[in-house]
Structure formats: structure tokens, C-alpha cells
Amino acid sequence: MTQSLIHPMISMPKALHEAVGDGAPVVALESTIISHGMPYPQNIETALSVEALIRKQGAVPATVAVMGGRPTVGLTSAEIEHLGKKGQGVIKVSRRDLPRCMAGGLDGATTVASTMILAAKAGVAVFATGGIGGVHRGAETSFDVSADLEELGRTSMAVVCAGAKAILDLPKTLEVLETKGVPVLGYQTDDLPGFYTRSTGLPVDQRLDTPADIAAQMHAKWGFGLSGGLLVANPVPDAFAMPADAINSAIEQALREMETQGIAGKQATPFLLARVSELTGGDSLTTNIRLVENNARLAAEIAIAYAKGA
């Protein structure tokens, strides 16, 4: 990777710019999880601890957002704190929202889709998140399908997650990923993890047991000119996994309340995550934090292996 491949409209700290130019291992991180995914102050604490964890693994963290209209890869701690304190007052930005946010000089928290876009334009190939968006339940009538799936089909990025969010229709989500040509790789698992749980019983496309195996597929796919992402499904650590019955019951209740209150679109996921956390007495938030840390750790290892093979 050379610095000339970094888009001139991307704002990056000098040290990160040099790291990308030198081919160092870099891991992108989203910012919607800070503003919309967790309450204050756990959102800021988690964001900073995840960055520290990536550094400890030997890689470079790069939290992504739009700050004052400028696409930014590599937030300062002050910028992370700003997004965390402002919370849902920050615009949630996906692909369609980037032009509005940039032209208007606004702050925007990036989703999985927009984080992939900005990270790719900054020369970053590995991204750690909690869970991806997907096909929502009832999408056959609502047509509510996350832009994350479209982005995975078009942007070349290895996305490490704990599966798709458990509030979604997971079989349909896998079908769309297949249609988009996105390999779903299970890290040391044959089954798709269920975000809060280690398995949904749904098969992944392939099980891979080392970060080097995943990096090899990244090189093979993109080296052959096949654009698009790879989804790395990394189960939540067993010690923090939730009982399937408990989490599914909470999700079903939250979904009923969402429908009754007429909540949809961008507000659906933040509402559901917050309500599920309330219904589980905060247990789901703890699980969410631990799985994000686990994904960041694996992403750093993949980024290191990928850099070695460049």
C-alpha cells in the first residue's frame, strides 16, 4: 500500500498516514457503536479500550467518522469523547448520507457500510465491528435490508464481526451475502455466530482456524481482481455468551414494542439494542462490549498476517 492510494479528501493523523504508506497493519473501527450502539460513558470507555487492545496486539487502530464534514480515518481521543457525549445527536451516516454530511460540514458517525467506504479510501483492508446489519425480519413486505450487505458486495474489506445482529432474519441475510458473492468465513467455527450467542445453527461457507488462513484468502480474492468484502464470523467468548432462550425472549419483546411504537429505519437498531439491554438487566451490554474486544483482537492478528503477505 502506498500513500498515493489514500484519497486526498480523507483526513488522517500523520502517524497513521505514514503507517498505511509503510504497509503496517491497520484496523478500522466504526463510530456508530460509539454514538448509537452503547450508552455513555461505556461507549467512550469501550472505544478507547478497543484502540488500546489493538495497539497491544501490534497493529494500529483507526476509528472512522465524519468530523465537521471531513471524512476522517483515525480519530483523536477528544473526537471519540465528543461523539460519545453527543450520542444520538450525531447523524448516523451510511453510504447515501455521506454527501449530505460532507457538504453540510456536519459530524457523522459511520455505520459498517460507510466505515468500509472511508477505510478503503484510506488504504485500510481490515475492519473490526460488533455485528453487521442485514435483512430485517418481515423484509419480504418492508424491504428493510441493511446497506451493509450491499457494501460487503462492492467494497474490498475484511470485516470481523460476531455475526449479523441477532434482531435480524439470519437465513435471509446469508442468502443475500451469497448473492453478493461475499464469503462468510467462520473463525474456528462451522456455524454462524448469533452476536450474543456462539451459534445459530446456520452453516458458514468455510471454517478457517488461523489469522494467516484468512489473510491468504484476502490476498487470493483481491489479487485475482475479485472486488468485494470477506465476512469473518468470530463467536463471542464462551464466558460472555448469553443463553439463547433469554436473549431471544428479550429480542421478541423488543420487536413487538418497536412495532407498536412505529419505530423503523435508522432508529430501529439503536432502539432494539437499548431495549434488549434493559430487558436483560444490562447483560447484553456486557456481552456486546466483550465481543467487540474479541473481534478487535482477531482483526489485529489478521491485519498483521495480511501485512506480512503483502
What's the rounded mean pLDDT across residues 243-255?
A: 90
Query: Are residues 147 and 116 in contact, defined by beta-carbon separation less than 8 angstroms?
Result: no
Q: Per-residue pLDDT tens for 6-22?
A: 999 999 999 999 999 99
For a pLDDT cut of 70, what percent of the chain falls above it? 98
Burial class (CB in 10 A: 0-12, 13-18, 19+), 245: exposed
pLDDT of residue 223: 97
140 is catalytic: no
Question: Is the sign of the CA dihedral 196, 200, 205, 207 positive or negative?
Answer: positive
Looking at the predicted structure, is the pLDDT value of residue 211 above 90?
yes
Rounded Cα distance, 25 and 187, in Å: 19
Rounded Cα distance, 137 and 156, in Å: 27
Looking at the predicted structure, is the pLDDT value of residue 212 above 50?
yes
State in words which class domain 3-241+285-308 has: alpha beta
What's the rounded mean pLDDT across residues 258-268?
A: 84
Looking at the predicted structure, is the pLDDT value of residue 3 above 50?
no
pLDDT of residue 229: 98
Note the Cα 189 to chain centre separation in Å.
19
Q: What is the mean pLDDT of the chain?
A: 94
Looking at the predicted structure, is the pLDDT value of residue 2 above 80?
no
Looking at the predicted structure, is the pLDDT value of residue 166 above 80?
no
Query: Are residues 10 and 122 in contact, defined by beta-carbon separation less than 8 angstroms?
Result: yes
Looking at the predicted structure, is the pLDDT value of residue 269 above 80?
no
What pTM was computed for the model?
Answer: 0.93
pLDDT of residue 108: 98
Query: Are residues 27 and 62 in contact, defined by beta-carbon separation less than 8 angstroms?
Result: yes
Given 151, 165, 221, 301, the catalytic residue: 165
Given 30, 51, 81, 151, the catalytic residue: 30
30 is catalytic: yes
